[in-house]
Amino acid sequence: MTMLERTPPPAEQPLLDVKDLEQRYTLPRESMFKPAAQVHALNGVTAQVMAGRSLGVVGESGSGKSTFARLVMALERPSSGSVSLMGRDLNRLPADELRRARRDFQMVFQDPYGSLDPRQTIARIVAEPLTALGRMDRATLRERVSGVLRQVGLRDADMDKFPHEFSGGQRQRIAIARALITQPKLIVADEPVSALDVSVQAQVLNLMQDLQDQFGLSYILISHDLAVVDYLCDEIAVMYLGRIVEQGSPEDLFAHCAHPYTRALLEAVPRARAGGVRRRGAQRIASQSTGATGCAYASRCPLADQHCRETAPPLRNVGRAHLAACHHAEAVMALPSVAAAG
C-alpha cells in the first residue's frame, strides 16, 4: 500500500473532537433474579484537541481516564457520544477504513513489560502498526524501523534483540518508536511513565517533548501525576467519576484551581508518598452505579451544602478557557493557592 494523500485539517477544525462520550459497563450479575448492575465509567465527556497541542487527563484510579483512552483509540464502542479524528467519526467508519485511519493515532501503554510481545524481535514489534496496514517489503520495513529507533535514542543493532534484553526506560522508548512509525498526528499515552523509575521518567518525558517539537504531534497524556501532565500538556482535564470536573491551562489549574477535587489532588501531591492517599473504593463504585442526584463529589467535598447534594453542577466557564463543574468555583478560586510542589 502506498502513502495515501493526507490533507491537513483546516485551521479551525480540531484534530480530535470528543462529544458527550458515555460508557456504561454491565457488572456480572449478583443473582439470577436481579437485573445486572451497571457502572458509568464515562459520563458525558466532551473535549477537543487542536493539532500540535496536548491534553492531559488526570484523576484517581477509577475516574474513567483509561476508559477515555480506550474510547479515543476506538478499542471499544462507546455507549453513546462520538469520537472524531480530523472530522471523521471513528465509530461510524467501516472496519477497513478504521484500520487504515489508525495510522493517524497510536497508543503508548503504561506497562513497558506487558505491552511488548516477549516472543517478537524489536524490529517486528516496532513494525507492527505498519504491517497491520498492509504489505510492505522487508527492506523498507527495516529502514523505517531503524529510522524511528534512532529517533527514540536506540541503535540499529537493537532491532534483532528481544524485549527482555532491555531496561524499563528502553522498553518504553521501543513502545514510543512503535507509536511513531506510522507518523501519527495523535499519540494517546496511558500512564506512560508511572511504571518507570523517577530518574527514567524525566528522560522519557523529555523524549516525548522533543518528538512533539520535531513532528508537531499531539498527545493525550493520561496520568494520576499532575507534575507529569504539567510538564507536557497545554491543557489539563481533571476527571472524577467519569466526568470532567475542571479543565484549563496548567497555569490556571495550579495557580487558582476552581474545583475542590483539583485542590485535593494538588494538596495530595506532597503527601502521596507518605500514604496519605484516601481509599474510597467501595464508596466510589456505589456512587458510580446508582447515578445519584447532585454533585458526584459532594460526599467528599468540604464545601458541600444542600444545594450540591440536590443539583449536579454543570461544567461552566470560570475564566478564560477555564471550565469547572462546581457551584462554589469562585469560592475555591478565592482560596490561597496550594504551594506548588516540585
Partner 1 sequence: MSTPLSASVDVEAVTARPRLATGFWRRALRHRSFVIGGALSLMVLFAALLSLVWTPWSAYEIDVTAKLRPPSATHWLGTDVLGRDIVSLLLVGARSTIMVGVIAVSIGLTFGVCLGLIAAARKGWTEEIIMRMSDFTFAFPAVLSAIMLAAVAGPGMVTSIVAIGIFQIPTLVRLTRGSANAIWAREFVLAARASGKGGFRITIEHVLPNVLPILIVQATIQFALAILAEAALSYLGLGTQPPQPSWGRMLNDAQTLLFQSPMLAVYPGAAIAIAVLGLNLLGDGLRDLLDPRLARER
Binds partner 1 by CB under 8 A, chosen from 23, 54, 63, 115: 115
Element spanning 123, H or E: helix 122-133
Cβ-based nearer residue to partner 1, 161 or 309: 161
End-to-end CA distance of the chain: 48
Contact present, 177 and 149 (Cβ < 8 Å): yes
Q: Rounded to the nearest whole angstrom, what is the least distance from the CB of residue 141 to partner 1 in the complex?
A: 5
Regarding 145 and contact with partner 1 (CB under 8 A), the answer is yes
Q: Could you say which of 50, 71, 116, 217 contacts partner 1 (CB under 8 A)? A: 116
Is residue 56 a contact partner of residue 49, using CB atoms and an 8 Å limit?
Answer: no
Q: Which of 27, 36, 132, 286 binds partner 1 (CB under 8 A)?
A: 132
Nearer to partner 1, 186 or 257 (CB): 186
Q: Does 1 bind partner 1 (CB under 8 A)?
A: yes
Contact flag: residue 160 with partner 1 (CB under 8 A):
yes
Residue 100 lies near partner 1 (rule: CB under 8 A): yes
Binding mask 175-214 for partner 1 (x = CB under 8 A): x--x---x--------------------------------
Contacts of 332 (CB under 8 A, 6+ apart): 257, 258, 259, 260, 263, 303, 324, 326
**Rounded Cα distance, 45 and 38, in Å:** 18
If we measure between CA atoms, which residue out of 174, 127, 129 comes closest to residue 152?
174
Contact status: 142 vs partner 1 (CB under 8 A) = yes
If 0-12 CB within 10 Å is exposed, 13-18 middle and 19+ buried, where does residue 333 land? buried
Give me the amino acid identity at 145: V
CA distance 151 to 133: 22
Choices 5-13, 130-138, 204-212, 262-270 (CB under 8 A): range interacting with partner 1: 130-138
Residue 331: strand, helix, or coil? helix
Q: Does 162 bind partner 1 (CB under 8 A)?
A: yes
Q: Do the Cβ atoms of 287 and 269 come closer than 8 Å?
A: no
User: Would you say 174 or 332 has its CB closer to partner 1?
Assistant: 174
Decide: is 104 part of the binding site for partner 1 (CB under 8 A).
no
Per the CB < 8 A criterion, the answer to whether 68 and 44 are in contact is no
Which of 53, 102, 173, 256: binder of partner 1 (CB under 8 A)? 102
Query: Residue 102 CB, nearest distance to partner 1 (Å)?
Result: 4
276 near partner 1, judged by CB under 8 A: no
The site for partner 1 (CB under 8 A) is made up of 1, 73, 75, 96, 98-100, 102, 106-107, 109-111, 114-121, 123-125, 127-129, 131-138, 141-142, 145, 159-162, 164-165, 175, 178, 182
